[in-house]
Chain A
Amino acid sequence: MKARLNLALVAGLVLLLIGLVAFKSSYFDQIAITTMIFVILSASLNLITGSAGLLSLGHAAFFGVGAYTAALLSTRFGWPFWLTLPAAGAMAALVGAVVAVPTMRLTSIYFAVATLGIGEMIYVTMLNWVGLTRGPMGVRSIPGITLFGAEGMVFSMVVTAAVMLAALWVVHRLMHSYYGNSLRALREDDACADAMGIDVGRLKLQSFGVACCLAGFAGALFAHTTGFISPESFRFGESILVLSMVVVGGLGSLYGSVIGAVILTVLPELLRDLGSWRMITVGGVLFFSILFLPRGLVGEVSAIDLIRRQIRHAPGASRAAW
């Protein structure tokens, strides 16, 4: 509650990323943009998993819904970026809310399994609805970010940074307010929060919708900056990567999810020489952080505790506690 977003840190990060442009290398530019996109994803996932305790294993799917929405609207209908961005957020929030309604009655680990299933369903839809998504061939030649005639790599980076800062502001406000306290109450003991006058179902739906919307914005940025998307970018593995960022940075800490996203995006790139072994570093970082920093770098709850509680608080168990 009292914690303040370390604005200096975020500003420093943005400067560093924009500073990478100095390399005049599209490789570094792309890393900078990818990092910022993952910052949005991990911050939004942290809102629901870290603060509200809803373990979502399908976050990348909503990222994908946003990416496909933006890609298809711009390639097929020629929509400009300033329209595809909000459309992507709205579509991801809508899909999130629709699929979330039946899962909202599920608690704990059952919710996690449901989100895993939903994520796979969305992936399979992207892969097989060839008429709409072009299936495994993906969507290519997605126009870059253009706004009022401005375009180019530096401009894309500035826009991405602006969207990232806006997303961080939203998550920050929601986490560090009484609204955030009600989310945390949900994480700690949802039946008790209910008895204290908190509309648990509505709160879950709302926070899930917000997180999906932000993931949708990240998707639009991804589609427009890479120019090509295919279902492979939105699979279960990506969801787990985002979850790892949240866990490494610290559940419930915004500032932690920024650091987590930076570490887990930049580290595998630095170790590119190791070839396919580099992805093991992601697993290694996750493993050692759970082992030695159970609360992540700056988290509120330990990841192991959260999982343990989710299993213990399975329905039936929570009924008996009354």
Chain B
Amino acid sequence: MEAPLLALREVTRRFGGLTAVDSVSAEIGRGELVGLIGPNGAGKTTLFNLISGVTPPSAGEVAFQGRVISGLRPFEVARLGVGRTFQNLRVFPNMTVFDNVSVGAIRGTGLGDALFSHGGQKARAISEVTTEMLAKVGLAGLVDELAANLSYGKRKLLEIARALAGRPKLLILDEPAAGLNDTETVELAHFIESLRAEGLTILVVEHDMGLVMRVCSRVIVLAFGRKIADADPASVQRDPAVLDAYLGAGDE
């Protein structure tokens, strides 16, 4: 059998006495659209950071396409094909929309290319993918606008385009629905589904259940750093452990 695209093997992360992620194992196959949810403080962000290389695991390992990636730096993980967006938007405000997106595609385009092959093959490839992704998210008309001048929703799209410009094999969206109204959330859901239809594997990390239940084919639930459920959305919603974690956590 083919190795899963992403595999977490008993991944643990401790911060002092706190175990933020406790021996979590999970797999994401190619072409899947998986949700990762959990109440506040469940360890979602830590798990995200363990996958993207921001934090190394205390124990266990993360494998991408069968290769262990834990211990690699974030830029190395990104170059292997893991694209991400940020929970609290992190666009480059003093750069244009076009330049923002191009950063996702630049990778190691170096000094020599800039000096001696200005507008060469690499540069053309970057412009092409940038233009393509801007068209995909519907920002093609705003290429020369400074990112700082975009609305909140457009900045979210800009972040997705920037992640897509790296032609990722796995796209991780960190709370994409946060701050969006219902209409915008529905539009985002359609957009995520269209990306999946093109064959992209997507992991959606969400605090709120709404979007995840609508688009994901499988949902992983974390609570207190442990995986408490991993099933299709309908079963997860009926799972007593999940109900307990959410009800016990507060007002959900």
Q: Residues on A close to B: CB < 8 A? A: 1-2, 170, 173-174, 177-182, 184-185, 187-189, 191-200, 206, 210, 252, 300-301, 321-322
Number of interchain pairs (Cβ within 8 Å) = 102
A192:B86 contact, CB within 8 angstroms: yes
Interface residues on B, range: 35 or more
CB B179 to nearest CB in A, in angstroms, measures 16
| Contact assessment for B96 and A1 in the assembled complex, using a CB-CB cutoff below 8 Å | yes
Judging by beta carbons under 8 Å apart, are A178 and B144 in contact?
Answer: no
**Which of B45, B52, B78, B88: most chain A CB closer than 10 A?**
B78
Interface of A is mostly: helix
A-B contact pairs, 7 of them (CB 8 A): A1-B99, A177-B114, A177-B123, A178-B126, A194-B73, A199-B75, A200-B75
* A185 & B115 in contact (Cβ 8 Å cutoff): no
Report the separation of the CA atoms of residues A137 and B96 in the bound assembly, to the nearest whole angstrom: 51
Contacts of A179 on B, CB cut-off 8 Å? 106, 109-111, 113-114
Q: Complex: how many Å from CA A89 to CA B103?
A: 30
In the complex, what residue of chain A is closest to B79 when comparing beta carbons? A197
Q: Closest CB-CB distance, A249 to chain B, in whole Å?
A: 16
A189/B92 in contact, CB under 8 A: yes
Residues B45 and A322 in contact, CB atoms below 8 Å apart:
yes
Q: Are A197 and B106 in contact (CB under 8 A)?
A: yes
Contact B114–A197 (Cβ < 8 Å): no
Given known contacts A188-B94, A191-B74, what 14 new A-B pairs fall within 8 Å (CB)?
A1-B96, A2-B144, A178-B122, A180-B114, A184-B94, A185-B92, A195-B52, A196-B75, A196-B104, A196-B162, A196-B166, A198-B106, A206-B110, A322-B45
Q: Are B74 and A195 in contact (CB under 8 A)?
A: yes
For the complex of A and B, 9 pairs with smallest distance between CB atoms? A179-B114, A197-B78, A188-B92, A177-B114, A192-B90, A185-B103, A194-B74, A197-B79, A195-B74
The docked-state distance in angstroms from the alpha carbon of A108 to that of B109 is 24
